Chain A
Amino acid sequence: MNKGISIITAGALVLAFAVAGQAASQGAAPSAGCIMLKTVAEVEQSYTTDSGETAKRLVPAAKVVPGGEVVWTVTASNVCDKPADNVAINNPVPEHMSYVPQSAMGPGTEIAFSIDGRKFAAPEALTVRMDDGAERAARADEYSYIRWTFTNALQPGSVAFARFRAVVK
């Protein structure tokens, strides 16, 4: 299952160094543990390829404006010599942002959302209670939390990722 997306590195120590080095450029160093977790903010940029075609690529989010879309990527690396089980990445939708519908992805994960941070469910099962007591389907811009639950263990030296998009309000 994980073979398709895992990056097998030469050794856990090497990976740990690389992750720490990259993290320094985008904020405080992650805390210690068997899984190194790294968050990156990027924006989609259109550019013209050598053959004259228009293509898109992700570049670091230097600036955003209201209405602008940020691609958040969370990378989890197992830096221990034991597999990590029951891996779940939790990420709040950042303050001042709205989650972009159907943008959350993560190979080998089941993705659930929450409005209150307690009840997590798939989008079709998430509801909001209205003033009259009736329940309606929650809108994507009402999601406050996203959780990626990995179906398989994260093996030593493996890297997995989770990604979502959000728009600046």
Chain B
Amino acid sequence: MNQMRNLALALVIASVALFGAGRAMAAGVPAGTAIENTAVVNYTVGGSAQATSSNTVSVTVAEILDVVVTLQSPTVSVAPGDAQQELVYRVTNTGNGPEAFLLTMTSTLTGDDFDPVPSVPAIYFDTDNSGDLSAADTAYVPGSNDPLLQPDAFVTLLVVNDIPASLVSGNRGRSQLTSAARTGTGPPGTVFAGQGEASTDAVVGTTGADGDATGEYLISDVSVTAVKSQTVTDPFGANRPLPGAQITYQIVVAAAGTGTAAAAAFVDAIPANTTFVAGSLQLNGAPLTDAADADGGAYAAAPTPQVTVQLGDLTQASGPQTIRFAVTIN
């Protein structure tokens, strides 16, 4: 607290120490608000009651410049050579007046394994709120469409990078978005006279009127393996593949590597000259219905007989997925 006051004083001679320790609210009283105060005194003179009002003092609330940038997306899994990979950020005006913000990005950061290559343009407004780059999203042009944010309002932005080729699994690359108040930035307490809302002074807040956040890309590979085995049981209690014998297939699906096999699905055709045993489909020991429904398992007789099991997003951490189904030999 004292440090802040000294800093403010050192840099801005006319500045008053303006920052209370208990400032918990994001924006506070709007800039330009008039705070008025009038005192009244009651008394008696010679036994008769009198009342007098004081002058009314009006103090105008100045604009405080503050901004916070937060990363909205987790580490993004990418493959070498991927184009236009998005990181999602949110820029929030934590000041108390409407303010435009200048946005910049950089991907040449230290402490990572590679530099993502900014797309041109590299910053987009997530106009359609989809969280990824789409045709409806507007490109950001500095000085042209700087976001003008009301107090406590935010805007969602996409930072778009291409991923260089010839990287190996596990490599990490970072990219940073910075937002700065258009009125100006500087040490807390810096005053921009008359440049605030309603011609009040603008005062740099505790954030320095700028903020940044860093996102990360992770080079990920994933390989999915499926190992199939079978057991035959004939009508005579032996293991001969006779007509009428039942074959139980077991398939173990597993993912390996640092990536994610998104929306993995297992599909297997029912062999010729066999018939699917209704109700025999299982995933990890739990039965799945034959109908195409919420349980992700289904048997379809047409156009060609096959079973399908939806496995969802598979990673190495998911562990092996065991699928079983049975057919009878015609």
* Contact call B17/A85, Cβ cutoff below 8 A: no
CA distance A87 to B63 in the complex (A): 39
Central interface residue in A26, A33, A168, by most chain B CB within 10 Å = A168
Min distance, Cβ A98 to any Cβ of chain B, angstroms: 9
In the complex, whether A128 has a CB less than 8 A from a CB of chain B is no
CA distance A39 to B37 in the complex (A): 8
Which residues from A are CB-within-8-Å of B171? none
Closest-by-CB residue of A relative to B17 is A46
Which residues from A are CB-within-8-Å of B191? 63
In the complex, whether B267 has a CB less than 8 A from a CB of chain A is no
In the complex, whether A112 has a CB less than 8 A from a CB of chain B is no
* Contact call B55/A28, Cβ cutoff below 8 A: yes
CA distance A84 to B19 in the complex (A): 40
Known: A84-B44, A86-B43, A95-B36. A64 touches B62 (CB 8 A): yes
In the complex, whether A16 has a CB less than 8 A from a CB of chain B is no
Stretch of B24-32, B68-76, B302-310 lying at the A interface: B24-32
- Residue interface bits A19-47, CB-to-B below 8 A is 1, else 0: 00001001111111111111111011111
Stretch of A2-10, A67-75, A119-127, A129-137 lying at the B interface: A67-75
* Contact call B54/A69, Cβ cutoff below 8 A: no
* Contact call A89/B39, Cβ cutoff below 8 A: yes
* Contact call B19/A67, Cβ cutoff below 8 A: yes
In the complex, whether B330 has a CB less than 8 A from a CB of chain A is no
CA distance A103 to B60 in the complex (A): 22
Chain B interface residue count: which class?
A: 35 or more
In the complex, whether A91 has a CB less than 8 A from a CB of chain B is yes
CB proximity to A under 8 Å, residues B47-102: 50-64, 96
Min distance, Cβ A145 to any Cβ of chain B, angstroms: 10
Which residues from B are CB-within-8-Å of A36? 52
Central interface residue in B29, B200, B201, by most chain A CB within 10 Å = B29
Which residues from A are CB-within-8-Å of B17? 43-46
Min distance, Cβ B36 to any Cβ of chain A, angstroms: 6
CA distance A66 to B38 in the complex (A): 21
Min distance, Cβ B277 to any Cβ of chain A, angstroms: 63
* Contact call B35/A89, Cβ cutoff below 8 A: no
23 sample A-B contacts, Cβ–Cβ < 8 Å, listed by A number: A30-B52, A34-B52, A41-B57, A62-B14, A63-B16, A63-B62, A64-B18, A64-B60, A64-B61, A64-B62, A66-B23, A68-B16, A72-B37, A74-B41, A85-B43, A88-B41, A89-B39, A91-B39, A95-B35, A96-B35, A96-B61, A162-B39, A167-B22
* Contact call A63/B43, Cβ cutoff below 8 A: no
* Contact call B43/A26, Cβ cutoff below 8 A: no
Closest 7 CB pairs of A and B: A66-B28, A67-B23, A33-B52, A67-B20, A37-B54, A63-B62, A39-B54
* Contact call B57/A65, Cβ cutoff below 8 A: no
Known: A23-B55, A66-B61. A96 touches B41 (CB 8 A): no
CA distance A49 to B50 in the complex (A): 45
In the complex, whether B205 has a CB less than 8 A from a CB of chain A is yes
CA distance A84 to B37 in the complex (A): 24
CA distance A154 to B14 in the complex (A): 38
In the complex, whether A13 has a CB less than 8 A from a CB of chain B is no
